[in-house]
Amino acid sequence: MMGEGTGPVWRCRDRVIRLGARPLVMGILNVTPDSFSDGGRYLATDAAIQRGLEMAAEGADILDIGGESTRPGAAPVPADEELDRVRPVMAGLCNALPSAGRPLLSVDTRKAVVAEAALAAGADILNDVTALRGDPAMVEVARRYGAGVVLMHMQGDPESMQLDPRYRDVSVEVCEWLRARVAALVEQGLAVETLAVDPGIGFGKTVEHNLCLLARIGDLAALGRPVVVGLSRKRFLGTLTGKPVEGRVAGSLAGLVYACLRGAHVMRVHDVGASVDALRVLEAMRREESRACSG
């Protein structure tokens, strides 16, 4: 079993993670020409595999490979094109990484054909921005492989989600939507231990919505499932700091530490090395706080 925490168990095929001892770092590997942060940088298979190996060496617990951008305004990518981007990278990383103790491998897709190919190549996790609603075959693929699944909340779709997002109470609505989604998927045959939840920072949310969700991560953690948060370099950080994408590392780290203090279990990040360092310091301070309080 990976991890020694007291939080929820997350089963990802034959890997079992006990969350809570420390937050896990999920490194983002975009195999796309148009992702908002690093579009085109790792489009070539060799470059993507090398970047995955670098993130593993930097301490990533999970590598999340995606072949379709879901940034605001992004158009869908044909399945065969997404397959051509993702499959060789997933296979290459499975071959290049040691079998014992390697990072978990995740595929960021909303298409069942891509998910199945990635799982056949060795992926452990399906990270789906539609929470398995976008493709009716996704649930069966996840069930058959026993894959870990990240269910993300999104209002609208990537092409239109930021036009005019509205909520009465964003935290309550997102939590209730994810609670209902978990229940529906369990009814459809997925094991609850395979499911994680993601509030979808920046996916159909304003700056204020994002900040409210981060402040109330504990509400989402109360669902009893692992909480995945992806805020790295996102637009709301640029709004808050006035910085372009490449200048948002400090803001991303501040958000990462805050989200972890509020109850997040997995942080999806671009800057793996810096994120791992920040969490090491946070973990050391928590240990010292615990000793001081018990002494």
Q: Which of 181, 216, 248, 268 is catalytic?
A: 268
Spell out the residues 6+ positions from residue 73 whose beta carbon is closer than 8 angstroms to its own: 158, 159, 162
Question: Which residue is catalytic, options 234, 248, 280, 286?
Answer: 234
Known catalytic residue: 268? yes
SS3 per-residue string spanning 172-207: HHHHHHHHHHHHHHHHCCCCHHHEEEECCCCCCCCH
Tell me if 136 sits within 8 A of 117, measured CB to CB: no
* CA nearest to 89, candidates 113, 63, 71: 63
Which residues does the annotation mark as catalytic?
234, 268
